Structure 1
């Protein structure tokens, strides 16, 4: 998953980012509401973890702005505000979950998994590409009846291309999906991922459009 973490406590943010990265997530961290709104405009995220007590634009305002603009990215609020009214206000403003500080990292991870299953399941229960089936709710891929093991990044690339069949996605667009801002990406990394997918799923599945990017044709 690519996660946007909006938290002004540097120590807490560093701990969350480290824990999530160890679970193969790409985590981008910003410290203010203004930076959060900008990040959402320039990047695609699977989940947003949002603190409420932010400098400048507070978290609740960020939440309301995103929902007013039609952004449906799952949002998990992190907050020390433990009054019932605060939790009700956050959920009624469009948050998908509300986790009180302090919290255990294992609970944060479990809630993120639940949000991801819920959002993916609502959007797309299964994708079929001829003899290939993609099951977003469980992150599984089958070729005929055989499960094909993909890395997290291979799966993310396949899912994105399959979800936009007939559309050409550039290398930069796919890199934005699977890498955080702080990750170092070598020039041939995407080519390696595509090569591995073709090796596992067949050479004809993903087409290269020279000078533009990659696509899965709409007829599949």
Structure 2
């Protein structure tokens, strides 16, 4: 007949205080309880001790993201502000108030305020703060941009026309953004290409991303390749 195993005092959870950490139980198991005394058996049997541990697993706490409270009317107000800018850009009043003219290589002219050029482009900021012929003549002739490209650039500077940038022209607009140092426009182009990666252009986009240090596009290309290989490896089994 097996000797019953005596129960062991249940350990309390670890306690933490500001000054001291108590590990394990605040109670102890006596020598008599371990080895027995008189006719009362101890916990140790055949030089072995059985330890029973209850483990409770808790799920990870749900992460709650707290965002700043924003005015629900802000997007509408912002959109209206952009629309007014665009209307002014295309109006006769803007033409009269503009202080600078851009000429595309196909003969189109664009009347703008040099403030917008200088605010978004270090290229134009340097051009229009130094003693340059362009500053004195209040004009700049693009040797490499057609009217559509200049319109896209100005649309971005005035806060819209982003929807005119797509995978079909993003690479061309990206070259323009790089040359004339319009950093924000570069980001828009990279996003447009990253969202339209397919098996036909992924290699080309990888090369382009490496050449122009486009991290978002490079990561998107790697992700597309990984997903593509995963799908096709499953299909071949």
Q: Higher RCO, 1 or 2 (CA under 8 Å, sep at least 6)?
A: 1
When you count helix as a share of all residues, which structure comes out higher?
Answer: 2
- TM-score normalised by L of structure 2: 0.22
Larger radius of gyration: 2
- TM-score normalised by L of structure 1: 0.23
